[in-house]
Structure 1
Amino acid sequence: MTPHSDTHFYEYHYVNLSLTWTEAQRYCREKYTDLVTIESLYFSSIVDTNPPGKRTYTAINNPLTWKDAQTYCRTYHTDLAMIENAQESTEVTSVMSTQYVWIGLYREPWKWSDNSRSSFTNWQTGQPNNYGGQNCVVENLDHVWADLNCDTKLFFWCYKGETLYISHKCFSSFFSQCNNISLLGLWIYVCRTDQT
């Protein structure tokens, strides 16, 4: 299988810490792979966070800046979560315990914590507005994004693992096994893990 014709699966980790975007990115990169990457709306209904061969996301309920969250995720997981599609967005927010969480997106131009370009966006109306130099991104319970000052301390998501490529055929049958998880309203960070 070739990477361009296959799908990536990730584990999402809720990080129960309140960090700035930079702290959340650092945390996810140290403990996981990176902040969540969101690339499309296609996967918005899947919320099972631990299927085999998929990234696992861990919510960290310890408020940190985006950079500190990145360091934390990279130390204890793989990195801050990257949300690459709507499904991953739904998966991440399905276990959120606060209104906003850091994800791995930041401005330079908009790219993910692992330096990959963002091909999927889900901005809230009027966002991004870069008000006062807001260069880091949060996701809310409605799965929409806003830019925010990177030094704000919020919870975040980390992910863990390596990217696994599987064919679309395997991908379709895999997702038929996913379950629903209810949402709570707290601030969190989401880190992602690429898992083999």
Structure 2
Amino acid sequence: SSCSRFPLRQYHYVDSVQSWNEARQSCRENFTDLATFESMDDVNRLQPPFKKTQAWIGLWDDPNDWQTSMGNQSNSWRWSATGETSKTGFKSWYSPNPDFYRGGETCVIIRNKGVWGDIDCASSLGFLCFNGKKRFEVADTP
């Protein structure tokens, strides 16, 4: 058998409508971060109730920040958990996205079938977090 370079992630759908920033904060407090996907295998591991909805994931863009250092032609979409682009080059954009409509769509949702769309970060949606370990840890007591 072969070992993957990337750890398998456990995904958790949170059915609480929040902005992207609120969702990221909630994921960081209760899990690890908003969901990161490095392959279609990651997307295929999503379980219901997500299958019937759309949700925030950890992909976002700050064109003002990245254009200065990278130029307009570079990929400026970053994962919240790492601050980096995809390590595998995996993308699942729903055409014509990303379109940065009216200069305000800098956060990303995943829709059923695993396609991504950019929308305004202030929109209120449910969200996907990964690795739920923090919420269930119990500190050792002497």
TM-score, scaled to structure 2:
0.73
Say whether residues 1:125 and 2:95 are aligned partners. yes
Shift of residue 99, structure 1, vs aligned partner: 2.5
Give, in whole Å, the separation in 1 of the partners of 2:27 and 2:51.
18
Matches within 5 A, 1:43-192: 55-92=9-46, 94-96=48-50, 98-108=52-62, 109-114=76-81, 115-118=83-86, 119-132=89-102, 133-160=104-131
Give, in whole Å, the separation in 1 of the partners of 2:78 and 2:120.
16
Query: Residue type of the partner of 2:118?
Result: D
Helix, strand or coil at the partner of 1:135: strand
More helix per residue: 2
Give, in whole Å, the separation in 1 of the partners of 2:43 and 2:96.
19
Instruction: Structure 1 unaligned segments of length 5 or more: list them.
Output: 11-54, 163-196
Give % identity.
Answer: 30
More strand per residue: 1
After superposition, the Cα gap between the structure-2 partners of 1:96 and 1:6, relative to the gap in structure 1 and judged at 3 Å, is closer
Bigger Rg, structure 1 or 2: 2
Query: Residue type of the partner of 1:110?
Result: W
Helix, strand or coil at the partner of 1:9: coil
Give, in whole Å, the separation in 2 of the partners of 1:7 and 1:161.
21
Q: CA RMSD in A?
A: 2.0
Structure 1 segments (4+ residues) deviating >2 Å:
92-95
Give, in whole Å, the separation in 1 of the partners of 2:80 and 2:120.
16
Instruction: Structure 2 unaligned segments of length 5 or more: list them.
Output: 63-75, 134-142
Aligned length: 114
Query: Residue type of the partner of 2:80?
Result: S
